[in-house]
Amino acid sequence: MSQEAALGKVHEPGVLKPNAMGLPSAFAMSVAFVSPTIGIVFISALLASVAGASSPLAFVLGTVAMACTAYALASFAGRIPSAGLLYSAPAQAFGPSTGMVVGVLLMVAYLLVSPLNTDLFGGFISPIIQHWTGLNIPWWVLLIFVNLLAAVLAYFSVHRSMQFDLALLTGEVLIVGTILIVSIVHGGASGQLPKAFTPSLSPTGFGGVAQAFIFTVFAFFGWESSSTVAEEVHLPRKVIPLTLVGSVVLTGLFMTFGVYAVTVGYGGHHISALAGASNPVVTLASRLISPWFDNLVDLAAISALTGVIIAIHNANFRLLYALGRDRALPSALSKTHHKYQTPHVAIVAFTIFGVVSGLFFGVLWGPVNAFGYLGYFTGLFIAIVYFMADFAIIPFMWRKHRNEFNWFKHGFIPLLGGVVMVVALYKSIFPLPTGVEKAMPAIMVVITVLAIILALVLRATNPRLIENIGQTVFVDAALARPEAALAEVEGKDPVTATDLEVGTD
C-alpha cells in the first residue's frame, strides 16, 4: 500500500473514506438515530398506556441502564473502535460463535427499525399535508420518498448527510423544548407531579413501570450507531466513546424531562387521554400556547422522523458493507464509489429492502400501527443485545487488560445495567402481551434458538466461515484507517499510531 493511499489521498476499492467526519457529525448520528423528539412525541403515549403517570420513572430507569451499557461499550470502543461494536464485545469476550448469535439478533432489530419508522413517516405526514394543502398524498408515496432521500444523501457524503441531520435535530429540539418548558411552568392540568418518579401512579405499581421499560429501551435504540462510522471518523478512539456516553446521557435527560412535562401537561387524572393521543405535544401546544403553534410541532415531528430515518439508513448501509467485505453476504456489497468512497452498492440494496419491507408492514397492520408493533418486537431483541454487551466487558477486561481492570468501572457498572435489562425484559414478556404482540416473544425465542443452532453447526462443519463472520461484524476499524496503514508501512504499531489529518467537522 502506498503512503498516499494510506493517508486517504487515493481511493482504494472497498475502503470507506477516512477522516470523513468529526465529533459533531458522529454525535448527530447517534442522537438523530435515538431521536429524543420521537421519544416524547410518539413513545410517551405508549409509556402512559402501561405505566400511567409513572412514565417518567420508566425513563429514569432506562437512562441509568443505558448509561451503564454505554459506559461499558465506551470502555471497549476506546481500545478497539469497531464498525459493529455491539457484536465485537461478546465476540471478544465469549468467542465468535456467541458474537454471531448476538449479531443475528441485532441485525433483526436494525433491519426492522427502518420500516417501522418509514411507515410512521408516511402514516403521520400524509394527513398533515392534506390538512395544510388539501392534497391527498398516499402514505406509501411518502415512504418511498424518504427512503430515496436517505439514499441520495448517503450516496454522496456521510458527512453532508449527518450535517443535514444535525440541522434537523437542532430545529426540532428547540420547538419541542419550548412546549415542554411552558408545560412545566404552567403546571399542566393538576400542578406538578413529583410522584411521577415513583411507581405509585402506575395502574399496576412497579410491574407497569417495568413493562413500560421495554419502550424506553426502544426509545434509546440507536445510541450505538456512531460506532458504525468508526472507520470514517477522525480520532475514533476518542470520538466514539464520547458519542456513546454523551448521546445516552443527553437524550436520556431530555426525554425524561419531556415525558414528565407531557405527563404534567395532561395531569394525573387524564392519563387515559395521554395514552390514546396520536400526538400529545400538539394537544399541549394548542392548549398552552396557541393553535398556530401546532404547525411548528408538526414540523418538528416531520424533522425528527426524517432525521432518524437518515441516521438509521446510514448505519444499515455500513452494516451491509461490512458483511459483504468478509463474504458473509455477496461481496458486491463491499464496493465503494470510485469518487465519493461511499458504500453505494449497499446503499442501493438496503434502500430496496427498506421500501419493500415498509410497504409490507404498512399494508399488513396500517402504517401507524406498524410503528408500535414493530417497536415492541425490536425492543425485545435489542434488550438481549444490550444485556450481552454489558456482561462482555467484564471478561474482556479481566482476560486481556487485567492491569487496567477496575471492579467498579468494569464490574459493578455493567452488572447494574445488565441486571436492569434482564428484569425489564422479563416484565415485558410476563404476563404475555395480547393482540398482535402476543406471539412476538415466542418468535423472538425461536429466532434466538435458530441463531444458536446455526452458530453450533457452522462451528462444527465450517469453522473458517464463522471466523470470517466474526471478522465482518467485529472488524477492527483501526486496521482499515489510513493512519494505521501508514504505521504499518513505516513499521510502527497501528494501534498506537497518531491520527494524521483533521476531520471535516
- Is 268 a member of any domain? yes
Please give the full DSSP string across 457-501, using - where no structure is assigned. Answer: HHHHH-HHHHHHHHHHHT-BGGGGSHHHHHHHHTT--TTTPPP-S
Whether 347 shows a pLDDT value over 80: the answer reads: yes
Mean pLDDT of 222-243: 85
Distance CA 57, CA 210 (A): 9
Grid cell at residue 76: 471497549
Q: Compute the radius of gyration of the chain from its Cα atoms.
A: 22
Whether 477 shows a pLDDT value over 70: the answer reads: no
Q: What are the backbone dihedrals phi and psi of residue 387, each rounded to the nearest 5 degrees, phi first?
A: -60, -45
Secondary structure of residue 19 in the 3-state scheme? coil
Largest CA distance in the chain: 69
- Is 17 a member of any domain? no
Mean pLDDT of 116-145: 95
Most confident of the following: 236-240, 309-313, 464-468, 491-495: 309-313
CB atoms within 10 A of CB 238: 15
Mean pLDDT of the chain: 84
SS3 string, 357-387, reads: HHHHHHHHHCHHHHHHHHHHHHHHHHHHHHH
Secondary structure of residue 20 in the 3-state scheme? coil
∠ CA 209-414-98, rounded to 5°: 100
Q: Which of 274, 288, 256, 268 is nearest to 178 (CA)?
A: 288
- Higher-pLDDT residue of 290, 122: 122
Whether 471 shows a pLDDT value over 80: the answer reads: no
**Portion of the chain with pLDDT greater than 90, in percent:** 42
Residue 374's pLDDT is 93
- Is 99 a member of any domain? yes
Q: Would you place residue 83 in the very low, low, confident or very high pLDDT band (cuts 50, 70, 90)?
A: low
Tens of pLDDT, residues 166-184: 888 889 999 999 999 999 9
The answer to whether 53 and 272 have CB atoms below 8 angstroms apart is no
Mean pLDDT of 55-68: 90
The answer to whether 424 and 433 have CB atoms below 8 angstroms apart is no
The answer to whether 75 and 393 have CB atoms below 8 angstroms apart is yes
Tens of pLDDT, residues 482-503: 344 334 334 343 433 333 333 4
CATH number at residue 287: 1.20.1740.10
Return the residue matching grid coordinates 486517504: 8
Structural domain total, the chain = 1
Grid cell at residue 304: 425528527
- Is 269 a member of any domain? yes
Domain coverage including residue 324? 24-156+165-230+237-461
How is residue 174 annotated by DSSP?
H
- Is 503 a member of any domain? no
Residue 326's pLDDT is 63
Query: In a 10 Å sphere around its CB, with 0-12 CB exposed, 13-18 middle and 19+ buried, how is residue 392 labelled?
Result: buried
- Half-sphere exposure for 252 (CA within 13 Å, toward CB): 24
Mean pLDDT of 375-404: 90
Residue 278's pLDDT is 78
